Amino acid sequence: MHRLLQLLPLISCCHATLAVATEPVLIDLNQDTGRQVIVDREPGQYLGHPSTCLLEDGKTILCVYPKGHGRGAIVYKRSQDGGRTWSDRLPTPANWSTSQEVPTLHRVIGPDGTRRIIMWSGLYPARLAVSEDDGQTWSELRPVGAWGGIVVMGFVEALRTGRGHYLAMFHDDGRFFRQDGKRVPTFKLFQTRSSDGGLNWSDPQVVFQSAEVNLCEPGCLRSPDGKRLAVLLRENRRRKNSQIIFSEDEGQTWTAPRELPLSLTGDRHTGKYASDGRLFISFRCNSPRAASAQRTYEGDWVGWVGSWDDLQQGRSGQYVVRLKDNTKGYDTAYPGVERLPDDTFVTTTYGHWENDAAPYVISVRFTLAELDTLARRR
C-alpha cells in the first residue's frame, strides 16, 4: 500500500466523541456596509470565485477571478492600500481567457530564494502561470502534467522538508484527472508536491476515497508550533458535517477524517492566524443538520473564530460571523483571507448580494478586537 494511504488510527466521526463545548457567539456584520468594499461588479455579468495574495509590503493585494461560474476569462486586479480601493482590470496574458476553472493564487519561494507567485487553473490539464516580479508581469498558462482536477489548488503549503518544498491538494470525481475521464460516484482527494519552488509538481497521489463521504475543496492550516497540518474539507453528499484530517509528518500520512462541529460546517474553508494566536476561517455555511441559530446563516458567507486547540478537540469555537447575506441561498464564498500588519483581516469573495442581480466580488474588513467589542455588547 502506498505511504499516502497508510492512515493513522481512526478518529470517530460521531458527535458523541467530540469535546463538549459552549456554543459560539453569533455576530452579524451583514448591515455594516462601512466594512464592505466592492472589488468588481459588471451589470449582467457573473463575477465569482476570487483568490487573493498579500505581498510582503503588507498592503498590496492581488486578486484573480473568472468571468463566469467556475470558469471563464480570468480577471486580474490589484489593491495598493490593503484592500480599501482597487485598480481597474489589469492586462493579462492572452490564454488566460481560456481558463476552464477557478483560478487560485499562491506565494512560493524557490530553493535559491527566488520569490514567485503562481496561479493555478484546473480541470484537464491542470495549468500554471508564474510571476517573478510580484505580479507586474505573468507567463501564459502552461500544463503541469498529464493530469487535472477540480479547484486546483485549494491550498499550497510550504513544507519543513526543505526550502522550496510545497504540498498542494485538490479533488476530482473521475472526469478531469486524466483525459477523457468519466464521472464516478466517489470523489478522490489527491495531493502533489513541488521541490523547486512551485514550478514543477509530482504526479498526484490519492490521499482519501470513501463510499461514506465525498471529501473535496481542501483548506490547510498549520499548528502554531509548526509540527502538525490540518486540512478542512467539504462533505459533498451533505450527509455529515464538514471533515478534518491531520498530519504529523508533512503530509506523508494523514489521520482518517472526522466531523467538524456544526459551527465549521460548510464549503471552501480558508483561514489565517491573528497576532494573538486565534484563527479566523472564512467559508460558505452549508449545514446538513442545521440548528435553528445556524439556519439563520444557511447559504451565506460566514466566518469562524477559534483556536487550533478547538480544531483538535472538536470544539465549536468562539464566534460565528455572518459576513454577508447571500440572497440566493447558495453559490457564494470561495474566499480569499489576508491579514494586514495592523491585524486587520481582509476577506474577499463573490455572492448574490442583491436580489435579481448578477453576483459580484466584495471584501469585508475587521479585526478580532472589533469582534470582541461587538460580542461584549450583545
Rounded-to-5 percentages of helix, strand, coil across the chain: 10, 40, 55
pLDDT confidence of residue 239: 87
For residue 367, the model assigns a pLDDT of: 98
304 has a pLDDT exceeding 90: yes
Phi, psi of 249 (to 5 degrees): -135, 40
Look at residue 329 in the predicted model and tell me its pLDDT. 82
At 348 the pLDDT is 98
Is 24 among the domain residues? yes
pLDDT score for 295? 64
- pLDDT at residue number 297: 87
The mean of the pLDDT values for the chain is 92
DSSP string, 169-182: EEEE-SSSSSTT--
- The conformational region for residue 259 under phi > 0 = left, psi -120 to 50 = alpha, else beta, is beta
Residues spanned by the domain of 148: 19-376
In a domain, 291, yes or no: yes
Q: What is the pLDDT of residue 287?
A: 76
Is residue 110 a part of any domain in this protein?
A: yes
192 part of a folded domain: yes
The CATH number for 69's domain is 2.120.10.10
What pLDDT does residue 296 have? 74
The answer to the question of residue 4 being in a domain is no
Q: Which element (helix H / strand E) includes 294? A: helix 292-295
Does 11 reside within a domain? no
Residue 290 reports pLDDT greater than 60: no
Q: Mean pLDDT, to the nearest integer, of 365-371?
A: 98
Which uninterrupted H or E stretch holds 295?
helix 292-295
Nearest to 34 by CA among 321, 378, 362: 362
pLDDT exceeds 80 at position 28: yes
Amino acid letter at 42? E
User: Is residue 252 situated within a structural domain?
Assistant: yes
Confidence band for 293, pLDDT divided at 50, 70 and 90: low
For residues 36 and 87, what is the distance between their CA atoms, to the nearest angstrom? 16
Residue 242: name the closest of 201, 287, 203, 276 by CA.
287
pLDDT above 80: residue 291? no
Tens-digit pLDDT profile for residues 115-162: 999 999 999 999 999 999 999 999 999 999 999 999 999 999 999 999
Q: What is the pLDDT of residue 288?
A: 65
Residue 21 burial (CB < 10 Å; 0-12/13-18/19+)? middle
Convert the pLDDT of each residue in 33-80 to its tens digit.
999 999 999 999 999 999 999 999 999 999 999 999 989 999 999 999
pLDDT for residue 378 is more than 50: yes
Higher pLDDT residue, 286 or 191?
191
Contacts (Cβ under 8 Å, ≥6 apart) of 59: 79, 80, 81, 82, 340
pLDDT confidence bin for 9, thresholds 50/70/90: very low
In a domain, 166, yes or no: yes
* Residues across the chain: 378
Domains in the chain, number: 1
pLDDT: which is higher, 294 or 201: 201
Instruction: Indicate the SS3 state at residue 370.
Output: helix
- What residues contact residue 44 under an 8 Å CB cut-off, 6+ apart? 358
pLDDT of residue 294: 57
pLDDT of 201 > 60? The answer is yes
